[in-house]
Amino acid sequence: MFLHGGSLTAHTWDLVALELANDFHCIALDLRGHGQSDWSERYSIPDSVRDVESLVAELGVGGVHVVGMSLGGNVAAHYAASANTRARSLTLVDVGPWVDFNATENMREFMGRPISELSLDELVDRAFAVSTSGGPRDKILYRYMHMTHRLPDGSLAWRADRRRPHDFAHILAKLEELPELAKSMALPVRIVRGGRSRVLTDEKVARFAACFPNGSWVLVPDAGHNVQEDAPKELARELREFLRAK
């Protein structure tokens, strides 16, 4: 089960899921207020954990391998630590405690700009111009195709709920709970860091992985924060090797 990062959608995992489809049944969830999921009046990490619990129960499966990136990793880790978890393993993609929140400032500023007067191509051109992840323009186009939609008046709008400011203080506080929670999480845990990401350092990831009784970490060198989009084949390979060993 794949959980995406903030403002992204389940489609961020498409290429990874295609790589793994012959080996695993892959399900990607649009977190509440994102993608095709309904907007809500509540967006806490515990609320999203309960959403994951409900989906897993609805699927009727005995266990799931949970993969979460950024915000989705925060949710995934708390789900894996919850009393109702059915997580068999946990993979966290470029997320953990002690993050450099300032490293995301440019991205947050860009996502906060109005887009109603733009065409999708204009939005993609602007995103491509400020992107630090490199890669083809088509990759960014695919991302923003799913992150936006047209309103009845024809204007472009974000799919994610932007009626209120994000509660970053809550999100960061829930990340800081993870080292203590990790001590009692016996399931296999793999942390994946993007080599070009400025959100976490190797030292911080290694320190976090050591908090888990069965934790490890790996670097994907040619990837930024969005490892699943920057290096989908490499991430899929790491996931396959990790999960096959369980």
For 216, phi then psi, to 5°, come to -150, 170
The CATH class of 2-101+165-244 is alpha beta
Other C-beta atoms within 10 Å of 138: how many? 9
Using an 8 Å Cβ cutoff, are 230 and 135 in contact? yes
Structure confidence by residue, pLDDT tens digits, 58-92:
999 999 999 999 999 999 999 999 999 999 999 99
- R_g (Cα) of the chain, nearest Å: 17
In the prediction, which pLDDT does 132 show?
66
For 99, phi then psi, to 5°, come to -70, 155
Mean residue pLDDT across the chain: 95
- Sequence ranges of the domains in the chain: 2-101+165-244
Using an 8 Å Cβ cutoff, are 66 and 76 in contact? yes
- In single-letter form, the type of residue at position 232 comes to P
User: With bands split at pLDDT 50, 70 and 90, how would you rate the model's confidence at 106?
Assistant: confident
Residue of 241, 177, 191 lying closest to 220 (CA atoms): 191
Helix orientation angle between 137-147 and 120-130, rounded to the nearest 10 degrees: 130
Q: Please name the residue that has the structure tokens 């509540």.
A: 42
Q: What is the mean pLDDT of residues 28-44?
A: 97
DSSP 51-73: HHHHHHHHHT-S-EEEEEETHHH
Q: What is the mean pLDDT of residues 102-108?
A: 89
In the prediction, which pLDDT does 68 show?
98
CA distance 158 to 120: 11
